[in-house]
Amino acid sequence: MAIGTRVVARKPKLGSIYQRGGVLWLKYHRDGKPYRESSGSAQYADAERLLKRRMGEMVSGKFAGLAIERIRMQELFDDLVEEYRLNQRASIVHLRSRLRLHLVPAFGSVRAAELSTTHVKAYTAKRQRAGAANATINRELEAVERALKLATQCDPPKLVRQIHIPMLPENNVRTGFLEDNGYLRLKAELPDYLKPLLVIGYHVGTRLGELLKLRWSAVDFACNQIRLNPGTTKNKKGRTLPIYGHMRQCLITQKAVLDAKYPKCSLVFHHDGQPIVELRKAWASACKRAGCDGLLFHDLRRSAVRNMRLAGLAENVAMQISGHRTRAIFDRYDIVGIRELNEAAAKLEIRLNQSLGTVLGTVAASEPVNAKTLTSEVAGKLLQWKVSTIEGVWLRGKDLNLRPLGYEFNTWFSMDSVIAKNQSHTVSMYLIVSTVSGSPVSNLLALSVCRRHDSIP
């Protein structure tokens, strides 16, 4: 190079596009390693767009090679099943059924990188035409969403981006509660081996799966407690249940029968000394005979929580007994304690009485300054009452409720009545008093405030 020659910096070459057959191909480098990839199109704009995307992935560190572009959904579903197996999830049986019957035939051959919401919407429409419920379709789509999430969490990732999986609206909130009389009828109809399950479930709202695994070592009659050990509950956390009411006698009887007939069985709830595996048919037929058709065992949880609130237990105490981790059950099923309702009604009544007076004609506790006291002789008795003058309420032309001046509230009563009238500059108040069989004033019926009108007698 000659002295004084100016060196021009070379722009780095990002990649190249060339034609191979009737399709345009890309060539680019990463860490000195060349990559060749088909654009899948004969249009130069499509190939250039794909090349820029690859360059962006390499700059952001998201480029994991071309192998992930060839991964299909079948491989992601296999990873999902393995994740369920490692975590010992009981729902793996349902997952395998959904994959085998629906998800693998629909998505198994699709490349994970090419999966889009269009595939998901087409699958949703197909399942709806087949008569599947929205909740069923959502459970299947949740499996797809979980498989995609696991793929993005791999190292190196098997999927660069995770698409949005649109879900369908669900309206499957159960609203029924088992009342006390229904509980007694159902208890009479159930077979003997299911009656203890009903008693415990109705009293403390424990899940069926937790009860079926319960052993006598967890029952403490001295302290009146049942201890659910960590790992035996749905959320893997232990909790303590109280023994009260019919629970104690039911458990004592169950223990006596077990010791006499099946001393080797350690389960609290059993069928002839063997674990209870299936109870849906016996439960459904008993519910039908008891007039509780359609009741599920899980409905006892909702009923138990409501009973706890009616008894005055705080929400956090009820959640601790039933095993709910959030208070969503109270919002979902509109469970409110009767004490809160009574207190709310009493407070509202006090406020209205203080502001408006009662319907029996008593005035508010805080009277206006210009209140007047009137006396009237009715059936030989002296009737005293107070009528409050409300200045400036009724306006000329229209009142505050936008009613015309001709409006009059009808205060007449068909029985023999004595009308005591006090007219002020602004309003007139009519007090209707009923007399029955010549007795003194016996019933104060109504009090109404009316606009002053010259035609009122």
The fraction of the chain above a pLDDT of 90, given in percent, is: 40
- Asked if pLDDT for residue 36 goes beyond 70, the answer is yes
C-alpha 43: how far from its chain's center?
51
Q: Is the pLDDT of residue 121 over 50?
A: yes
Residue showing tokens 């107070």: 386
Q: Do residues 103 and 124 touch, judged by C-beta distance below 8 A?
A: no
Euclidean distance between CA atoms 250 and 196, whole angstroms: 6
Strand order in the sheet with 417-423: 417-423, 427-434, 443-451
Classify residue 385 by its DSSP letter: E
Residue 4 banded pLDDT, cuts 50, 70, 90 = low
**Confidence category of residue 202, pLDDT binned at 50, 70, 90:** very high
Q: Residue ranges per domain, the chain?
A: 16-63, 70-153, 180-332, 372-451
Whose tokens are 């999902």? That residue is 80
* pLDDT of the residue at 397: 44
Most confident range (mean pLDDT) of 204-218, 308-322, 414-428 is 204-218
Per-residue pLDDT tens over the stretch 37-92: 888 888 888 888 888 888 887 777 666 666 677 889 999 999 999 999 999 888 99
**Strand, helix or coil at 359?**
coil
The pLDDT of residue 104: 96
Cβ atoms 329, 302 nearer than 8 A: yes
Quick one: which H or E segment has residue 387?
strand 381-387
Indicate whether 446 pLDDT > 80: no
**Dihedral pair phi/psi, residue 426, rounded to 5°:** -115, -45
pLDDT of 81: 96
> If pLDDT is split at 50, 70 and 90, which confidence band does 416 have?
very low
Can the peptide bond before residue 156 be classed as cis, meaning omega within 30 degrees of 0? yes
- What's the mean pLDDT when you consider all of the chain? 76
Average pLDDT score over residue span 443-448: 36
Q: How far apart are CA 289 and CA 186, in angstroms?
A: 8
Can you tell me whether residue 225 is helix, strand or coil?
strand
Cβ-based neighbours of 221, under 8 Å, separated by 6 or more: 243, 248, 251, 252
Residue 66: Cβ within 10 Å count: 11
Q: Residue 450 pLDDT > 50, yes or no?
A: no
Residue 130 reports pLDDT greater than 90: yes
Decide if pLDDT at 251 tops 90: yes
* 8 Å CB contact between 389 and 426: yes
pLDDT tens digit string along 139-164? Answer: 999 999 999 999 988 877 788 778 99
What separation in angstroms does the CA of 225 have from each of 286, 287, 402?
Answer: 29, 29, 65
This prediction's pTM:
0.55
What integer is the mean pLDDT of 297-303? 90
pLDDT on residue 42: 87
Is residue 33 pLDDT above 90, yes or no? Answer: no
**Superfamily for domain range 180-332:** Intergrase catalytic core (1.10.443.10)
